[in-house]
Amino acid sequence: MRVLIVEDQPTLADDIADGLRDQGMAADVAYDGASGLDKALMNQYDVVIVDRDLPKIHGDAVCAALVGARSPARILMLTAAGTIGDRVEGLNLGADDYLPKPFAFAELVARLRALARRSPASPPVVVKHDLVFDRARRRVSRGGRPVTLTRKEMGILEVLLAADGGVVSAEELLERVWDENADPFTHTVTVTLARLRRKLGNPDLIETVIGSGYRLP
């Protein structure tokens, strides 16, 4: 899952991003509405966290612009304005969820995962051959045998399953599973894929499409 945090308090934004990375998510940060909107329209995110009271472009305008652009990203408003009226107003702008500050980080993570699962193309449990991926519980099994994966390994598997047999390039995996700070020349995708393949066992489920990327046919 890739998340964008648009929050004008740098310490809070960075703390959220670090916490989400510890949960295995790719997290990018923007400290004002203008840069946040640019990033949200330029990159593919599963969820965009938007503070309402943002400099340069107000959070309400960011939300409305993303909805108007038909962005596939889910929008979570995270703000100190937490009255019922504020929540209703935020949801009416097109936000998918609304979490007032102060908040429990565990609740934020749970809401993000719920938003990512809400897409019709991303069911809670994905079955491919004898592989079962329970996205809600973050559990993987093959042939009834539990498979223990790291967060990045699980992230790669999730992206390949979501592609539904389509080819996913190494660059796209790097973008979807890591974040904007990842070194584009790193071999981390290849190394992580090799570990994932070993853990999933034989026969190999992941096919390498030479010159294009990988797929799970």
Query: pLDDT tens digits for 105-122?
Result: 999 999 998 888 765 445
> Tokens 């209703």 identify what position?
88
Specify whether the CB–CB gap between 22 and 31 falls below 8 A.
Answer: no
187 in helix, strand or coil? coil
Q: Are residues 40 and 62 in the same domain?
A: yes
Question: What pLDDT digit, counting tens, does each position of 44-97 carry?
Answer: 898 999 998 899 999 999 999 998 888 889 999 988 765 666 667 767 788 899
Of the candidates 117, 151, 166, which is a domain's last residue? 117
pLDDT recorded at residue 107: 94
Residue 164 is predicted with a pLDDT of 84
| Distance of alpha carbon 189 from alpha carbon 26, whole angstroms | 14
Q: Is the domain of 29 the same as that of 92?
A: yes
Last residue of a domain, which of 117, 139, 163? Answer: 117
Domain boundary among 61, 91, 117: 117
Contact of 206 with 131, CB cutoff 8 Å: no
> Within this chain, do residues 109 and 131 fall inside the same structural domain, yes or no?
no
The tally of domains found in the chain comes to 2
pLDDT at 184: 67
191, 190, 131, 139: which is closest to 161 by C-alpha?
131
Q: What is the mean pLDDT of the chain?
A: 88
Same domain, 112 and 162: no
C-alpha–C-alpha distance, residues 79 and 66, integer Å: 18
Same domain (yes/no): 85, 142: no
Same structural domain, 141 and 166: yes
Tell me what pLDDT residue 122 has.
57
The token pair that represents 130 in the structure block: 């004898």
Q: State whether 133 and 208 are in the same domain.
A: yes
- Per the structure, the complete domain to which residue 37 belongs is given by 2-117
The answer on 134 and 98 residing in a single domain is no
The model's confidence at residue 123, banded by pLDDT at 50, 70 and 90, is: low
Residue 14 sits in the same domain as residue 44: yes
What pLDDT is stored for residue 90 in this prediction?
Answer: 64
CATH number of the domain within which 181 lies: 1.10.10.10
**98 and 136 part of one domain:** no
Same domain? For 101 and 188 the reply is no
Q: Check residue 82 and give its pLDDT.
A: 58
- We report the CATH number of the domain holding residue 58 as 3.40.50.2300
Work out the percent of the chain whose per-residue pLDDT is above 90. Answer: 52
CB 41 within 8 A of CB 71: yes
Question: Distance from CA of residue 193 to its chain's centroid?
Answer: 19
Please indicate, yes or no, whether the overall pTM of this predicted structure exceeds 0.85. no
Residues 156, 181 share a domain: yes
For every residue of 175-186, DSSP letters joined together read HHHS-TTS-TT-
